[in-house]
Amino acid sequence: MIALAVDDERPMLHALVRAIKESADITEVTEFTTCSAALEWAKNNTVDIAFLDVSMRGMSGIMLAEKLLEQQPGCKIIFCTGYSEYAVDAFKLHASGYLMKPVTAEAVQKEIDHIKGQKAKERLLTVKCFGNFEAYCNREPLAFRRTRTKEVLAFLVDRHGAGVTTKEICAKLWENEMDDARNRNYLYQMLEDLRRTLKEVGAESILVKTTGTYAVDPERIDCDYYSYLSKGKPEFFGEYMSQYSWAEETCAMLCMKSEIN
């Protein structure tokens, strides 16, 4: 699991990170003392589990969790606080756990074990990102009505659950063109084609639409890219969504990760 830790008090943050790192289930931890910095980082990075202080200056941990879940719907939220009265608000947000300070390694592992024991969501699609991008349901390729709908799905898969706006999608799919009304209208047609195609194979819940953004639910996708990020398997041989030029940035990141491993 890739973890995020946020607390505006550095001594508490350092103690929290030490406790998180004790877990064998955690592969890496990124820490922040401000909510804005954490949200900016989460736009382009995977977060499997977030440990958030509830009471922070500027933005509360509960508000941070709401914004984080808009970007990454599959992220598990664990609140950490010294004030038990926040528990009701935390669980209204469907938090995965609630830890009282001082946080211990044992308490962290207990929450992680609880999350691991929860019933996994059914995987509705199989997606291949290494090499060329392909998407299947019951071993049959998805049949889109529009040629570039497949590329829209590829871009959303690339974002690993992070929400993106139509403007961001247009900027990637038409890198050398102005973000004009024609492109935006075409994109809406492709998004509708994507929704309809997924609905036809019983996988409509994979597409997550919130106010102004689109994302996929990573927990409902069996994906080599996601598996590599979390488990280091299957092996990566330097090719990622090869038919799309915008995927080169992620490919470079994967190459660096492969060299480190």
pLDDT tens readout for residues 113-170? 888 766 556 788 999 999 999 999 988 999 999 989 999 999 999 999 888 999 899 9
Phi, psi of 143 (to 5 degrees): -105, 100
- Whether the model pTM is above 0.75: no
pLDDT per residue over 109-124, tens digit each?
Answer: 988 888 876 655 678 8
> Count of CB atoms within 10 A of residue 117's CB?
8
Determine the distance from the C-alpha atom of residue 202 to the mean position of all C-alpha atoms in its chain, rounded to a whole number. Answer: 22
- How do beta strands 28-32 and 207-210 pair? unpaired
Tokens matching residue 19 = 């406790």
Locate tokens 């009304």: which residue? 181
In DSSP notation, 150-161 reads HHHHHHHHHTTT
pLDDT per residue over 76-113, tens digit each?
Answer: 999 888 765 544 444 445 456 778 888 899 999 988 88
pLDDT for 92: 47
Q: How far apart are CA 236 and CA 71, in angstroms?
A: 26
